[in-house]
Amino acid sequence: MYNSKITGLGYYVPDNVVTNNDLSKVMDTNDEWIRERTGIEERRHIIKGEDTTTSMGVKAAKIAIERAGIDKNDIDFIVFATLSPDYYFPGPGVLVQRDLGIGTVGALDVRNQCSGFVYGISVADQYIKSGMYKNILVIGSEVHSTGLDMTTRGRNVSVIFGDGAGAAILSREEDTSKGILSTHLHSEGQHAEELALIAPGMGKRWVTDIIDEKDSNDESYFPYMNGQFVFKNAVVRFSEVIKEGLAKNNLEATDINMLVPHQANLRIAQFIQKKFGLEDKQVYNNIMKYGNTTAASIPIALTEAWEQGKVKEGDLVVLAAFGSGFTWGSAIIKW
């Protein structure tokens, strides 16, 4: 019996900083309005032609591989979580395998949006615990900026999201008291359209519609979010899935050394922090700098927390996410 352990972390964000004031020049918004509702001060947007979802994932992965002290050819499997792949198909997992020059290992694409990295960690964890693989690369990477409605019409969504990538190496750990203790995953598809990008798709809005209609007034080609409804569901599901993970391992909230929540909205994170009675030093937030980077948000935040010495050997680390689907999940980790 094995556990999996995070042995290397890395992240990459574009150099292009977009502040709230920058957004106020292209839509009817302002710094105070955005900060009050989301806690976001700035985010990163790619410069077209310089970065892609895959290229950012590769850059984050190289750092994680080096920090894990392994060679790229030691990687047995790749899991890539994103809602913004370079191509409609194939997914970016195989592109990472090609661009890193790794052998013909398996590559799995995860489409669970904000909870994608937690889902990816769970899949990798089970593969390693079963003995099937020894080292797995898990990436969360997103390019939102090229698909947002950067007008006043789309401001409620467009001010929130940013671009970036994070990566982790999960490796076999024989000491089962260390590493990933458990993961917990859920979904509730009845609310799928409350946070969604409907088109293009092979269902109601086909790709051929874009070619035939070229209708710039069709809002189904931009992300939609029922903000208040999502917020109310998020605070409930975050709490439930964290409690579930703690109970599974006979732990209490007081045992948490570091909670790394998905960076959806600073107000959600603050609500959860207060509910669990955690101090500021026990929760890591960076949405102020990067906005919501969806599947990339947890690995970016976890990497920063580790780099700053806020995650140490022996710490109990909890990852938790909620997002489109609705899907949500948690991971309980003994560092």
**Active-site positions?**
114, 262, 292
| Number of C-beta neighbours around residue 267 at 10 A | 16
Asked if 153 and 146 touch (Cβ cutoff 8 Å), the reply is: no
312 φ/ψ sector (left φ>0, alpha ψ -120 to 50, else beta): beta
Beta-strand pair 164-173/3-12: antiparallel
Report the distance separating Cα 285 and Cα 305, nearest Å: 9
Q: What is the CA radius of gyration of the chain?
A: 19
Report the distance separating Cα 70 and Cα 167, nearest Å: 14
CA distances 280 to 245, 269, 285, Å, are 21, 11, 9
Cα torsion 63, 68, 72, 73 to 10°: value is 180
Q: What is the DSSP string of 71-127?
A: -GGG--EEEEE-SS-SSSSS-HHHHHHHHHT--S-EEEEE--GGGHHHHHHHHHHHH
246 φ, ψ (degrees, to nearest 5): -65, -45
Q: Any alpha helices (H) in the chain, and if so which ranges?
A: 20-23, 31-38, 53-68, 92-100, 116-129, 155-158, 207-213, 227-248, 266-275, 287-290, 297-307
